[in-house]
Amino acid sequence: MIIGQYYYSLDPKKRLTIPPKFRNVLGEGAVLTKGIDGCLFLYAQKEWEALADKLSKLPLSEQNARSFTRVMLAGAMDVKIDSLGRVLIPDYLKDYAKLDKKVVIAGLYDRIEIWDEDKWQKYGQATDSQVGSIADGLKELGI
């Protein structure tokens, strides 16, 4: 299970250190892709394969399914974790998430989200004020 949030810096060569706690879950390689809400998603290979399998079964006749599949799969990149626990963030993903030097790495059970720190702070402030109404909506899902 991947949980918690950590503050790191993107180095000048666009490498990001992954928290030691998360490295064991990821192993030596992982998949980095465009996320939702302007962040990046980092998946362990096994989790990525399960998600990709689900995406491949979405109906081609549905425009939203095709669009979401394109974003997730075409935007993905295999990444290796180097001996210092870093991954290289490709330019197109760095630009997509508008990553600057300060980055937040958040564990969300089966994936890691990578956020620009300023964007993470703004997102957190907005959602903190909405937690009650979000929780009310989750009742429908049995949570």
pTM over 0.75: yes
Q: What percent of the chain has pLDDT over 90?
A: 75
Radius of gyration for the chain, computed over Cα atoms and rounded to the nearest angstrom: 16
* DSSP string for residues in 104-142: EEEEEES-EEEEEHHHHHHHHHHHHTTHHHHHHHHGGGT
More confident residue, 30 or 136: 30
Sketch out the chain's domains with CATH numbers: 2-116 (3.40.1550.20)
Q: How confident is the model at residue 129 (pLDDT cuts 50, 70, 90)?
A: low
